[in-house]
Amino acid sequence: MKIKIIGNQLKKGMKFIGKITKRKSALETLENILLEVEKSFIKILFTNLETGLIYQSLVKTEKEGKICIKKDVFEDLVNYLDDEDIIELEEKDNFLKIQSSKFSSKIKKFSVDDFPVLPLPKEEKSIFVNSKNFTDNLKSVLNFTSPYLEKPEISGVLMKILENEMVFVATDNFRLGEKKFFQKVEGEFPAFFIIPQESAKEIYGIFNNLNEKIKIYYSPYQIFLEKKSEEGDFPELIYISKLTEGKFPEYEGVIPQKFITEVYLRTEDFLKKIKMASVFVKKTNELELIFLPKENKIKVLTENIDLGNFEAETTTEIKGKEISVIFNYKSLEEGIEAVNDTEFFIGIAGKDKPVLIKPKNIEDFIYILAPIKKD
């Protein structure tokens, strides 16, 4: 193998590769990347056997071939390249030789035969989305998945593809977030699948910085996200992930419909109060909200015997009955943060019942949170 490539192209590729989580494995080759040169293309491949990434770029090829090297070493080195540098990569004996006008280096090579084969999209169904829009919406629910892998069906994000809409849902059984967004789908729908939480994070990491059309292929077992190159009609980036098997819970039934107390609040102002109050939460993370309709006030209270306490009031119009609800402050805060509107709605369905939080102006997000039960 022998090629010439521009520095920033290598940097770009390794930046994408770096977003894939490296997992501990006994198999040494999983610490490696594979460089593959064929015709006038170089491919850089990396995988942890659950997800994987292929980066492809045009190069000046002098000799085709494949070489396997340690990912971390190459990544660290490439990171310092200047964008305009012309880099020469050449396989020599047991090494990959890297040379520019400024430096020269040799990286030890490993057996190419051990490197895993990455599955490629074949007959899968596909849709097109905007990468930024897609990942921004994904992020709204990304934190709400269950961290426990014993319940695989809720340890990932449910993705629903409907005729004119896509929906992301995530829950950990204590709270649930549902984000809808308009997306014209050409292709087959409805389709439902669960993206593992690790993969969803990787997808956000890789595609949120891009703002262009990407193609998503899906089959029952895996999902591919493909970004076309600006240099020509070939994919610059293919991301691969397995999907989680299982049936996402039928969550529609838990969405509260009727409320005994309801109120609209200013997002930024209220979030600030919660954050201040959180200084004094106990280990149990309890934060109390008291709704006082007669006085049109909401109180935010926390108390920690060892530290002190906090109390704040917000004046606003409250409909319904007086009630006090205790929340896990973190879950409350995360839900309100995901609202993405200047004002939001809180509806209390009753004592010990889940509450509903949603934006005031756009009906694209709902958050359901179970309060902490107190006798």
Partner 1 sequence: MDKQEVWQSVLAQIKLLISPANFNTWFKNTEVLEIENEKILLSVPNSFIKEWFEQKYHQMILKVVKSIHPQIKEIEYVIGKTPPSLIKKQIKRIIFPQPELLTFEIDEKTGLNPKYTFSNFVVGSFNELSYAAAQAIVEAPGKIYNPLFIYGGVGLGKTHLLQAIGNFLYKNKKMNVIYFQSNKLVEEIINAIKNNTIEELKKGFKDVEILILDDVQFLSGKEKTQEEFFFIFNYLYEKNRQIVLSSDRPAKVIPSLAERLKSRFEGGMIADISLPDYESRVAILKVKSQEKNINLQKEVLEYIASNIKNNIRELEGALNILSTFSKFHKKEITLETAKKLLKNIISPIPKISTFKKILKIVSEFYDVKEEDILSNLRRKEILKPRHIIMYLLRNEMNYSYPAIAQKFGGKDHTTVIHACEKIKKELLKNDELSEEINQLKIKIFEKEKI
DSSP per position, 299-345:
EEEEEETTTEEEEEEEE--EEE--EEEEEEHHHHHHHHHTT-SSEEE
Contact call for residue 18 and partner 1 (CB under 8 A): no
Contact call for residue 176 and partner 1 (CB under 8 A): yes
| C-alpha span between 22 and 34 (Å, rounded) | 15
Contact call for residue 249 and partner 1 (CB under 8 A): yes
Exactly one of 145, 244, 267, 302 binds partner 1 (CB under 8 A); which one? 244
Exactly one of 140, 155, 183, 261 binds partner 1 (CB under 8 A); which one? 155
Contact call for residue 62 and partner 1 (CB under 8 A): no
Residue 313 corresponds to which amino acid?
E
The two structure tokens encoding residue 57: 């770029």
Nearer to partner 1 among residue 28 and residue 76 (C-beta): 28
Q: Considering only 1-9, 62-70, 269-277, 327-335, which stretch makes contact with partner 1 by CB under 8 A?
A: 327-335
Q: Are 313 and 301 in contact (CB under 8 A)?
A: no
Q: Considering only 97-105, 181-189, 206-214, 351-359, which stretch makes contact with partner 1 by CB under 8 A?
A: 351-359
| C-alpha span between 254 and 231 (Å, rounded) | 49
* DSSP 8-state symbol, 39: T
The b-or-e profile of 102-122 (16+ CB within 10 A means b, else e) is: eeeeebebbeeeebbebeebe
| SS3 state of residue 63 | strand
Contact call for residue 48 and partner 1 (CB under 8 A): yes
Report the alpha-carbon angle 241-247-250, nearest 5: 130
> How many positions of this chain bind partner 1 (CB under 8 A)?
61
Give which of 1, 8, 16, 6 is closest to 237, Cα–Cα.
16
Nearer to partner 1 among residue 160 and residue 353 (C-beta): 353
Exactly one of 32, 47, 131, 302 binds partner 1 (CB under 8 A); which one? 47
Q: Considering only 64-72, 127-135, 299-307, 349-357, which stretch makes contact with partner 1 by CB under 8 A?
A: 349-357
CA-atom Rg of the chain in angstroms: 25
Please state, as a whole number, how many other Cβ atoms lie within 10 Å of the Cβ of residue 175. Answer: 23
Exactly one of 7, 65, 152, 205 binds partner 1 (CB under 8 A); which one? 152
Contact call for residue 359 and partner 1 (CB under 8 A): no
The residues binding partner 1 (CB under 8 A) are 23-28, 30, 47-50, 52, 113-114, 116-119, 147-150, 152, 155, 171-176, 196, 198, 221-222, 240, 242, 244-245, 249-251, 253-257, 283-285, 328, 330-331, 351-354, 368, 370-373
